[in-house]
Structure 1
Amino acid sequence: MPEVTTLTPKTPHTTTRQPALVYAVAAVSAVGGLLFGYDTGIISGALLYLRQDLDLSSRGQEIVVSVILVGAMVGALGSGRLAGRFGRRRVVMWVAAVFALGAVGAALAPGAEALVAARFVLGLAVGGASNMVPVYIAEVAPTAIRGRLMVLFQLMVAIGQLLAYLCGWLFAGSGGWRIMFGLAVIPAVVLAVGMLKLPESPRWLVDNKREGEAHTVLRRLRPQGADIAAEIAGIRDIATAAPPVHRRAMTQPWVRPALVVALGVAAFSQLTGINAIVYYAPTMLSDAGFGDSIALLTGIGIGVMLVVAGISGAIAVDAIGRRRTMLVFIPLSGLSMTVLGVAFLVGDSTAQHWVVIVSLFAYILFNGIGMQSVVWLIAPEILPLSVRGPATSLATLTVWGFDLLIAVTALSAINAIGRSGTFFVYAAMNVLCVVFVLLKVPETRNKSLEDIEKALRAPGPLRQNLR
């Protein structure tokens, strides 16, 4: 496909020194990922005491855990529309304010109903952050370092989850969950203040006929001597070629391959079981006889593995590619989950406890690298500009929809088919995910967003056009 092959070599080299503002944009906006990770992860440690303080049944615990995901689905849908109208940067600032409001509400909640309402508000912010921050980074970052900057979002999610586990251990005890929830106000303020000094997405500016502002922004975001006019011309060409967004825009035949990839990866990111472990690991281990202290410390280990996976994933997606990262590490994720299921079939012993903990850590590491490092990266990369806002919202909605499915069924599944049966189901989902990646997912490493869109529009299979 001539257009793609001639344009791709013109992307910036990784050896070019990038302006500090590029990294500042990624670092500040990725604080939204830290909030996302903290507010979804903090329930893991808090739940051990919430269920006592508020007298929650298993179903009540699932509701408190999962209501944030209902809010996230609403936030993901709404943020895409708002960002199309008001800009990516402004929506991220609004998200920070909603994070702070939800954190205060959860910390002061007088009962289960108020806590559920506050966690729904937090969900609105989580959905908005998970939808808009990756898009914002993707549209600002240079092609050569786009992968690692976008994976910074997932790394910050992992750091947020680690902080959540640490706070769950530090503030363990009746009533300590209020402090756990309230601490989220601090990064929310940091995000809001930091975004004040960051620029708007140049691609959004061009799409909204503000090319002069886009030129000024790109001068600050690109190395000295970069061909800003050519980059703006490329964005303009894509924006001009794109049809107006309407209800059926995402069903056009040339868009469909990208949508299948984005939605498929989004679904498997949850069906492979990661958040069943993140949300319920301390509860499952405590109920299995490990003791609350060991369960909470194991939770901290899970947080550490998430951070290690985030760092490793950031390196892997640019070093070996998005597709190959998935194909290398998802099979190992499925194997680890299978070992975890087998471990719960054998009798209780010290050796069995160690096998459970090691396989749990291995699963988190491999799934974190192979699946979680790609899920927030692939949709903003592969979806075309004309539908990027609503289509990324749909992909984010898919993440939260399947996350909700896992959250509201995990404990019930354990009660129905046991821990081993539940883990074997998740292991099977890892196998299906590998098949999906082999058949559908192309490699987008070192391809500009405009090159990827040209490959979508060209005749022939997307994977072949992007080679």
Structure 2
Amino acid sequence: MFESAMANNASSSIHPNPMEANFIRSIHSVGATLACLLAGFAMSLLGRRGATLYCTIPAYVCGYLFIGSAPSVWLIILGRFLTGIGLGLTLSVPTVYIVEITNLRVRGTLGVVPNLLCQIGIFATYVSGRWLDWSGLAFLACSVGLPFFLVVWNIPESPIYLSRCGRTEEATRVTTLLDLKTASLPVDCQPKQKLDGETHTILGSIKKLKNPEVWKPFLCGLGLMFFFQATAYPLLIGSTVELFREAHLAVDEHLATIIVGIVIVLNSIVAIPLARSYDRKSLLLVSGTGTASCLFVLGTFFYLKDLDMIEGYLTWMPIISFIVYIAFFMCGYGSVSWLVVAEVLPTSERSFVYPLAISGTWLFNFVFAHSYIPMTLAMSTAGIMWFYASLSFVGVAFVASCIPETRNQTAEQIAHFYTQGWIFCTDPNNDIKAKTDISETSFEP
């Protein structure tokens, strides 16, 4: 959002050249990748709550302070890098925490809430950007740090982390507080194991990938995150003003962006009951097909515009297509993809392997973001839309083949998909559906 705000603020004393603008657009992905690689270690050393308090929040506050007070482009880039670290931790730690403190009955709903709050933040940025320049936006974002710290300070630590550290009484107290109706912790979380004091390293996490029970779901989760980025949503949502300006909309592009922000929030709200009521795999398939189709329509619009064939009602095609595109993205990729990646991973390795999968997400994001401007110049806006549409259609085939259904499934059922079925087969979970009451809580997803 900040790179878009800078591009549209003529009064700013800082005017990045194309190379610097490209770095501002993409450098946060490098910070997020690094943060994901370190997230497992941070969670093992400080806990899920501690990693947020002492790593995530300081990264955001320092980053936004650097951006808001920056006298030069390179301090803005440093600030973007630090906020990228905060973003990487935000997308790694809370998902693990949610999976570990919730039961199967409510996990789908709570797993979508972070996405809703993220989209509310995007909408707030759109609205604020109508009146604030990029430095004002940075200081506004920085001000959220204090209430963020106070809220996290008052939440309990993950009982799985407490148990692994030998703090059984605290773990039991948290399970009672959270009304987790279970008599015992999962076997892999018993205090006797204690994970050698949880002294895991990045290298140790990578070594775990030699186990087929880990690398198969890891690769599939990584693939899902690749196609998440291939929908181009993270790129397009930060470039709405430029896109609508290029489309020559009949309304002010800033007003159109605010409308899009409202649509984003509304669809994020709708995604909550969808995630609770429908299979996650089905939502991903519908989401992928819909986003690919909308990207194809957007590409067709810009192609016709280049030929001067757009007139009349066709001028509304980009904003209508973009609104429908957001709706399809939010119903699947935007709401459940992060949760699915966490759920397919083995419980015992999730806190270390999940951040590795998310680090891959940000590597993909960096590649897509850094190549967006050069590819657009080489292929035209129409060509880049068709390129992402093609990738999204491939993503539909990938989800159908390589991602199991995880809604209301135990860890054993999900693991069975990768040990007995996996690719190009019917979901073996259909043959071993659990007959247990899902109101009984397990710490395993």
TM-score between both structures, scaled by the size of structure 1: 0.83
User: Structure 1 stretch 376-385 or stretch 264-273: which is displaced more?
Assistant: 376-385
Q: Classify the secondary structure of the residue corresponding to 1:345.
A: helix
Matching residue of 1:303: 261
Matching residue of 2:348: 386
Matching residue of 2:437: none
Cα deviation 1:42-85 (Å, max 9, x = unaligned):
44334322796422233322211111111111111112211122
Q: Does 1:193 align with 2:150?
A: yes
Q: Could you tell me which amino acid in structure 1 is paired with residue 313 of structure 2?
A: A
Q: Classify the secondary structure of the residue corresponding to 2:71.
A: coil
Residues of 1 paired with 2:421 and 2:194: CA distance?
19
Q: Does 1:316 align with 2:277?
A: no
Equivalent positions of 1:57-456 (< 5 A) are: 57-94=17-54, 95-171=56-132, 176-222=133-179, 226=181, 228-230=182-184, 232-234=185-187, 236=189, 246=204, 247-290=206-249, 294-346=252-304, 347=308, 348-448=310-410, 450-452=411-413, 455=416
Q: Does 1:56 align with 2:16?
A: yes
Residues of 2 paired with 1:220 and 1:180: CA distance?
38
Task: State the shift of 1:285 in Å.
Answer: 2.6
Residues of 2 paired with 1:79 and 1:229: CA distance?
30
Task: State the shift of 1:359 in Å.
Answer: 0.6
Residues of 1 paired with 2:419 and 2:290: CA distance?
35
Q: Could you tell me which amino acid in structure 2 is paired with residue 229 of structure 1?
A: A
CA contact 1:100–1:189 (8 Å) conserved in 2: no
Residues of 2 paired with 1:62 and 1:395: CA distance?
25
Q: Could you tell me which amino acid in structure 2 is paired with residue 418 of structure 1?
A: S
**1:238/1:277 CA distance change after superposition, 3 Å:** farther
CA contact 1:148–1:315 (8 Å) conserved in 2: yes
Q: Classify the secondary structure of the residue corresponding to 2:303.
A: coil
Residues of 2 paired with 1:104 and 1:78: CA distance?
23
Task: State the shift of 1:93 in Å.
Answer: 0.9
Task: State the shift of 1:458 in Å.
Answer: 6.0
Q: Could you tell me which amino acid in structure 2 is paired with residue 464 of structure 1?
A: P
Task: State the shift of 1:229 in Å.
Answer: 1.8
Matching residue of 2:438: none
Residues of 1 paired with 2:428 and 2:10: CA distance?
52
Cα deviation 1:15-41 (Å, max 9, x = unaligned):
xxxxxxxxxxxxxxxxxxxxxxxxxx4
CA contact 2:279–2:405 (8 Å) conserved in 1: yes
Residues of 2 paired with 1:200 and 1:452: CA distance?
27
Q: Classify the secondary structure of the residue corresponding to 2:143.
A: helix
Task: State the shift of 1:183 in Å.
Answer: 0.4
Task: State the shift of 1:261 in Å.
Answer: 2.2
Task: State the shift of 1:249 in Å.
Answer: 1.0
Cα deviation 1:287-339 (Å, max 9, x = unaligned):
44449x82222222222222223222222222111101111222111111111
**1:143/1:365 CA distance change after superposition, 3 Å:** same
The alignment-based identity, stated in percent, is 24
Q: Which ranges in structure 2 are unaligned for 5 or more consecutive residues?
A: 434-445
Q: Classify the secondary structure of the residue corresponding to 1:200.
A: coil
Residues of 2 paired with 1:238 and 1:419: CA distance?
56
**1:453/1:84 CA distance change after superposition, 3 Å:** farther
Cα deviation 1:247-266 (Å, max 9, x = unaligned):
42122112233112211111
**1:328/1:290 CA distance change after superposition, 3 Å:** closer
Residues of 2 paired with 1:112 and 1:381: CA distance?
40
CA contact 1:42–1:165 (8 Å) conserved in 2: no
Residues of 1 paired with 2:3 and 2:13: CA distance?
14
**1:186/1:350 CA distance change after superposition, 3 Å:** farther
TM-score between both structures, scaled by the size of structure 2: 0.87
**1:358/1:315 CA distance change after superposition, 3 Å:** same
Residues of 1 paired with 2:243 and 2:44: CA distance?
42
**Count of residue pairs brought into register by the alignment:** 417
**1:458/1:399 CA distance change after superposition, 3 Å:** closer
CA contact 1:142–1:222 (8 Å) conserved in 2: no
Q: Could you tell me which amino acid in structure 2 is paired with residue 442 of structure 1?
A: P
Residues of 2 paired with 1:152 and 1:453: CA distance?
23
Matching residue of 1:464: 428
CA contact 2:163–2:194 (8 Å) conserved in 1: no
Residues of 2 paired with 1:401 and 1:423: CA distance?
21
Residues of 1 paired with 2:174 and 2:118: CA distance?
27
CA contact 2:288–2:328 (8 Å) conserved in 1: yes
Task: State the shift of 1:384 in Å.
Answer: 1.2
Q: Could you tell me which amino acid in structure 1 is paired with residue 17 of structure 2?
A: S
**1:350/1:266 CA distance change after superposition, 3 Å:** same
Matching residue of 1:35: none
Q: Could you tell me which amino acid in structure 1 is paired with residue 140 of structure 2?
A: L
**1:105/1:330 CA distance change after superposition, 3 Å:** same
Q: Which ranges in structure 1 are unaligned for 5 or more consecutive residues?
A: 1-40
**1:303/1:364 CA distance change after superposition, 3 Å:** same
Q: Could you tell me which amino acid in structure 2 is paired with residue 360 of structure 1?
A: F
